[in-house]
Structure 1
């Protein structure tokens, strides 16, 4: 790539996630040359002023580029100015494809924080081969909660000292103990919009996956069965429900890649979200049922999009969460892995065990401000890792998941360095 390019351009920098990515860039991208891009120069200048004041650093000399998702010429010009585009302009279902296409044609890497399986898998279907031809990495799901889940499974496998059969993940979030005040960080409107359209069009996934994968992954003994719809977890002492996010689809894409490329036995995985009581879980089920029903109809989607606070129980809003609430919100993901010790390892990854797993590992992945602190640090850390450790990544490029791209890199160590980073720790090893 041309030596006069910037290292990174943050696209969509005037959006809610974008501006906090600018703030975290001051420390995460220290020593690199970076700029910002979006549609409106005045808004971009305002972001540099606001986030510069917050970071106590003069950002007035950060380069600004004007680019619009509907103007491919401007996107190409932007992509040619840098080595990697950090794309925060969602919902990616509507705004992501042109950016990906222009980055690939410009020989520029691309990372984003999409949690939209239809978008991510469509990009893989349409652009994986072209990205390989151009030697470009396109990596989605680079924020919370997919980075903790996907890289958490990698952390589990690296520390298991044996063969992992399955992983169950239990997600918790809340307000840091000892802090005053109520409320939670919540969601900005873009995240809510992505969820509405993602669920509305979830039936598209079957067709996409049929084209992506001509063969299913083999079923390994023992099969990890899903837990009941509602249950109390002894692992985290919470009332749990199945987690509806994209984590499982991202992790299973990673496991397929590692099975096909590295001949590694794929890990089975289910993920759950925990609540403090049966009553709270019941309320969540009620809101989720209404959300699921309304998302299937045009009128229902209009209501969801026009009244996000009402239909999310106050979780989502057009203004987004306050900085005070974001700073006090934590997340914890507890991983329960089961498998066999090294002494029982089979010769080939396709061989079947006949005995049930005898070994267990408990791991925790945690952090603060998951939506707009840990997410932004994770996103920038993936960009940094591509720039510094591409020799440890799949040599051909491609449209990849985080674990497929970064399993052999130092991304986990990078994530742990920063104030709003992500901590990986072992709880118990039996």
Structure 2
């Protein structure tokens, strides 16, 4: 349920950053899938572009809100007008905080699709306490980073509880996730990645500050595991550590939810069929990480994919993702998979929009502050995503092939 302060407002949802690439896809999804009677609006800094978007959507009555990420007063008005605000304006570490602050102050639920650990950690230390006081729920990483991973682990934990015959796991739990994707990315995503890679010291500092104040689960342990490149029987592929925000989000869900057991371990990996591809991927990421920290090289990298650009519909239609999970507890072993289409854009827009709709309409556990999707939405969001075409399935046995394109 939304906070009492947000219960009587003009809009159920406001989409901020609607004229960007992913923002536009999210607007298209809401235009097609928002329930009848949903009061929603789009917001951004350029009224002319908002009007173009409204015309493209075929929604002549869709309200337009003009606000700039550098105008706190305008953002406060946006936050006060909505039950839930969706933000697609990145890089979030540069542009995201004023809207988070406005939502925390107004008791307004907030969702975004950041994959920037520094931003998430900083928002916790600065705005979690105020959000708890006002009843606001602040959910970051609500796209491909990190919804299928976070909810996939929750799905796996629930399956382990089923096969062990326990409502709550009472012994060690070990889960690994193996990610395979076929797709491309937009200029905005690339810009956010470069920003994150260019600030390693700030990222480490923000993580340390968040850990110093975040409440830890009493009597329970949560561990991240990151082994080196190796062949995995469960992935049936070579796996390499995946330096994404997903593991952090999953471990915070495990800390928040007792059903993950008293001793929870998780490792997060990319799965590839051939070792040379894995090693080339590691080298490529390392090269971008180094280049992002050298201003002239960073400017050259930014020119490769300008902000606002993204894959066309045909490219997105060929894209897919599958995340396989291997889980062990109480002498039992289970395998699950989460699969869908274009991970970077089509499915990210779907995940983002459905998370917002879940907060707005579903009967969820009472909670406030900075939360993960598993902690805030849990099975209700899994159900929504399954209804929207994203597959959550349990495998009968250890698979004999690598994670691939699952078509149902």
Q: Same fold (TM over 0.5)?
A: yes
Relative to structure 1, the CA distance from residue 263 to residue 191 in structure 2 (aligned partners, 3 Å threshold; closer, same or farther) is closer
Secondary structure of 2:138 counterpart: strand
Secondary structure of 2:86 counterpart: strand
Task: Spell out the pairing of 1:275-290 with structure 2 (5 A cutoff).
Answer: 275-290=272-287
Mapped to 2, the partners of 1:167 and 1:89 lie a distance apart of 33
Maintained 8 Å contact 1:28/1:381: no
1:352-409 deviation digits (Å, cap 9, x = unpaired): xxxxxx21010000000111111111111111111123x52343x11112112123x5
Q: Do residues 9 (structure 1) and 7 (structure 2) align? A: no
Mapped to 1, the partners of 2:208 and 2:290 lie a distance apart of 26
Select the residue among 151, 161, 172 that pairs with 2:180. 172
Q: Do residues 247 (structure 1) and 215 (structure 2) align? A: no
Residues matched between the structures, number: 382
Aligned to 1:355: none
Mapped to 2, the partners of 1:64 and 1:317 lie a distance apart of 23
1:190-241 deviation digits (Å, cap 9, x = unpaired): 111111111222333443333333487799899875332x323322332322
Aligned to 2:73: 73
Select the residue among 40, 44, 48 that pairs with 2:50. 44
1:38-58 deviation digits (Å, cap 9, x = unpaired): 0111111222233x2xxxxx3
Maintained 8 Å contact 1:124/1:400: no
Relative to structure 1, the CA distance from residue 300 to residue 237 in structure 2 (aligned partners, 3 Å threshold; closer, same or farther) is same
Mapped to 1, the partners of 2:142 and 2:260 lie a distance apart of 25
Cα RMSD over matched residues?
2.4
Q: Do residues 425 (structure 1) and 393 (structure 2) align? A: yes
Select the residue among 4, 14, 24 that pairs with 1:19. 24
Maintained 8 Å contact 2:222/2:254: no
Aligned to 1:354: none
Task: Spell out the pairing of 1:154-173 with structure 2 (5 A cutoff).
Answer: 154-161=154-161, 162=164, 163=169, 165-173=173-181
Maintained 8 Å contact 1:28/1:380: no
Q: Do residues 414 (structure 1) and 404 (structure 2) align? A: no
Secondary structure of 1:158 counterpart: helix
Residue 134 of structure 1: CA displacement? 0.6
Residue 27 of structure 1: CA displacement? 3.2
Mapped to 1, the partners of 2:188 and 2:304 lie a distance apart of 13
1:276-306 deviation digits (Å, cap 9, x = unpaired): 3233223323322211221232233223223
Maintained 8 Å contact 1:256/1:266: no
TM-score (norm 1): 0.83
Residue 156 of structure 1: CA displacement? 0.9
Task: Spell out the pairing of 1:17-416 with structure 2 (5 A cutoff).
Answer: 17-31=22-36, 32-50=38-56, 52=57, 58-161=58-161, 162=164, 163=169, 165-174=173-182, 185-214=183-212, 226-228=226-228, 230-259=229-258, 264-265=261-262, 267-308=264-305, 319-340=309-330, 358-389=331-362, 391-395=363-367, 397-407=368-378, 409-416=379-386
Mapped to 1, the partners of 2:205 and 2:226 lie a distance apart of 24
Mapped to 2, the partners of 1:218 and 1:303 lie a distance apart of 48
Mapped to 2, the partners of 1:191 and 1:378 lie a distance apart of 16
Maintained 8 Å contact 2:20/2:308: no
